[in-house]
Chains A and B, each alone.
Chain A
Amino acid sequence: MRSLWAAVMLTGIYSFLGASWMLILDAPDVAFTEAAVGAGLSTVLMLSTLALTGTTMKKQATSTLLPLVVVSLTGLALIYGTADMPYFGDPTAPAHQHLMPEFMADTVPSIHEAAGHHAETGVGVDNVVTAVLASYRGYDTLGETVVILTAGIGVLLILGGEKRFSSFFADLSLRDVPSMRHRAILRVATKLLIPYILLFALYVQFHGDYGPGGGFQAGVIFAAALILYGLVFGLRATLKVAPPSVVETLVALGVLLYAGTGVATMLLGGNFLDYSVLEHPLLPGVLPHGQHLGILLVELGVGITVAAVMITIFFAFVGREHPR
C-alpha cells in the first residue's frame, strides 16, 4: 500500500475494532480508553505528522525474507507456548483464583488495619477496576502519569528546540493555520458540540467510581474538545483560550497533585498513597473522605496532566512550520 494516509486510517479502524472486541470481553474501561486514545489521539498525531512529511511512500525495495523468518519463528514460539495455557474463559484459571476474589469482595486485610487504625475495609467503590487502578495499584497509576509527563517533556524537547521558547509560541500566534471559520456548518456544529464534550469530560472524570471512566479518559476527551476547537477556529483563537505557559504549568501541576496526595498521606502517618489516613473531612458534605477523597484527588491529577500534555503535543505538532 503506497498511501500512508490510507494506512493511518486503517490503523484507526483496527484500533476501533480492537476497542469493540475489548468491550465484548467485559473490559469497558479499557475499550473506552483504547477508542479515545488509539482510534482518536494516535490517528490525529499520525495525520499531523503526515501533514508535515508527506502522505505517500515510495515502492518497497527491501527484501522481506529475513523479517518473515523472524516473525514466523516468533509466532510459532508463541503458539507453542499456548499449549499449556488455561482455556479461554476458564473460571478456574490461576489468574482468577488468586487475587481477584479479594478485589471483588473488596476486603483485603490492609496494613493499616493491622496497625490498629480505624479502617474501612477495602476501598468501597463500585467500579472495581477504578478501585484497583487508583488505590490498590495506585502507585502504578502515578507511574503512568509520569510516563505521560515524560512524553510531554520529550515532545517539547524534540519539537520545541530551534526557536526560543517564548518566540516559538509567539510565532504560532502570528502564523495563522488555515482555519475553517468560513464553513458555516462546521462552525455552528462545533460551537454547539464543544460545551457538551467538555461537560462529558467532567462527567467521565468524576463518575469513574461508579461506571467506566476516570482521569485518563476524561483528560483525553477534554483535550479532544480543545483540539476540535483548534481545528475549526484556528490556532490563534485556541492560543487565547489555552496559552501555552498555562498549559505547561498544568502539565506539572497534575503530577504534583498526585504525588502531593501521596506525600500528604505520609505526613499524616500512613504509607505513601495510603488514602485511609485522609479521614478528616475537609468540607463535610461536599468532599468525601478516606479512600474516596484519595481516589478523587489522584484521578483529578491524572486528568489534568493528561489533558495538558495532549494539548501541548497538539500545539507542538500543529505549530511546526511546513517545509516549503
Chain B
Amino acid sequence: MNTVLGLYNYWIVIFLMMTGFYVVIAQGNLVKKVIGLNIFQISVFLLYITIGKVRGGTAPILPEDVTYSPDGLPIPPQGFDGWSNPLPSVLILTAIVVGVATTAVALALIVRIGEAYGTIEEDEILALDLEE
C-alpha cells in the first residue's frame, strides 16, 4: 500500500503520457498528431514537477523577511516544513518553450501541406504521393 501511496503520482503521469503518445502514432489527421505531441509533452512536464515537489514544502520564493538557520538555509514561512525544488521548474520552463516552438513549426508545415495536397489526412496524402 505504501508503494501505491508513494508512487501514484508517477503512474497518473505515465498514463497521461501514454495517452498523448497513442494519439501521435495512431491518429491520421496531422493536427491531431500535433495535439497528441502536446499532450505527451505536457505530461512529461508534469513528471518533472512531481519529482520536484517536497512534502510539506512551499514554492521556492524567499519572502522579504526571510531568516536563515544556523547552517545557512532559509527558514520556510509559517506552516511549511521545507522548500520544493527549484531546479525542475527551471528545466521545464525551457522545455515548455521548446514545446511551443516545435508546435508552431509543425502547424506552419501543416498549413503548407494543406495547401499543397488539399488534405491533412495522412492516408490521403500517402495515396497522392504514390500516384506521382
Interface residues of A (CB under 8 A from B): 4, 7-8, 11, 14-15, 18, 21-22, 25-30, 33-34, 37-38, 41-42, 45-46, 48-50, 52-54, 57-58, 60-62, 64, 67-68, 70-72, 74-75, 78-79, 82, 85, 87-91, 93, 95-96, 99-101, 103-105, 107, 126-129, 131-133, 137, 140-141, 143-144, 147-148, 150-151, 154-155, 158-159, 210-212, 216, 313, 316-317, 320, 323
Q: What are 17 contact pairs spanning A and B, CB under 8 A?
A: A18-B45, A22-B46, A26-B60, A30-B93, A38-B96, A38-B99, A57-B31, A78-B17, A95-B87, A104-B83, A105-B72, A133-B90, A144-B97, A147-B101, A216-B93, A313-B104, A316-B108
Nearest CB of chain B from residue A216's CB, rounded to whole Å: 6
Interface residues of B (CB under 8 A from A): 2, 5-11, 14-15, 17-18, 21-22, 25-29, 31-32, 34-35, 38-39, 42-43, 45-46, 49-64, 66, 68, 72-74, 81-90, 92-94, 96-105, 107-112, 114-115, 120-123
* Residues of chain A within 8 A of B22, CB atoms compared: 67-68, 71
Q: How far is the CA of A42 from the CA of B104 in the complex (A)?
A: 8
Question: B9 near A148 (CB under 8 angstroms)?
Answer: no
The total of Cβ contacts below 8 Å across the A-B interface reads 271
Question: B61 near A129 (CB under 8 angstroms)?
Answer: yes
Contact of A75 among B18, B26, B27, B72 (CB under 8 A): B18
* Residues of chain B within 8 A of A82, CB atoms compared: 7, 10-11, 14
Question: A129 near B60 (CB under 8 angstroms)?
Answer: yes
Question: A89 near B96 (CB under 8 angstroms)?
Answer: no
Taking A71-B18, A127-B61 as contacts, is the C-beta distance between A45 and B104 under 8 angstroms? yes
Taking A71-B21, A159-B108 as contacts, is the C-beta distance between A38 and B93 under 8 angstroms? no
* Residues of chain A within 8 A of B88, CB atoms compared: 27, 95
Taking A30-B89, A61-B123, A158-B108 as contacts, is the C-beta distance between A151 and B101 under 8 angstroms? yes
Taking A11-B39, A88-B50 as contacts, is the C-beta distance between A34 and B59 under 8 angstroms? no
Contact residues of A: prevailing secondary structure = helix
Query: In the complex, what residue of chain A is closest to B121 when comparing beta carbons?
Result: A58
Taking A25-B52, A41-B100, A140-B94 as contacts, is the C-beta distance between A79 and B14 under 8 angstroms? yes
Question: B6 near A88 (CB under 8 angstroms)?
Answer: yes
Question: A52 near B111 (CB under 8 angstroms)?
Answer: yes
Contact of B54 among A29, A62, A79, A91 (CB under 8 A): A91
Question: A132 near B10 (CB under 8 angstroms)?
Answer: no
Question: B104 near A151 (CB under 8 angstroms)?
Answer: yes
Q: How far is the CA of A153 from the CA of B30 in the complex (A)?
A: 22
Query: In the complex, what residue of chain A is closest to B94 when comparing beta carbons?
Result: A144
Nearest CB of chain B from residue A65's CB, rounded to whole Å: 10
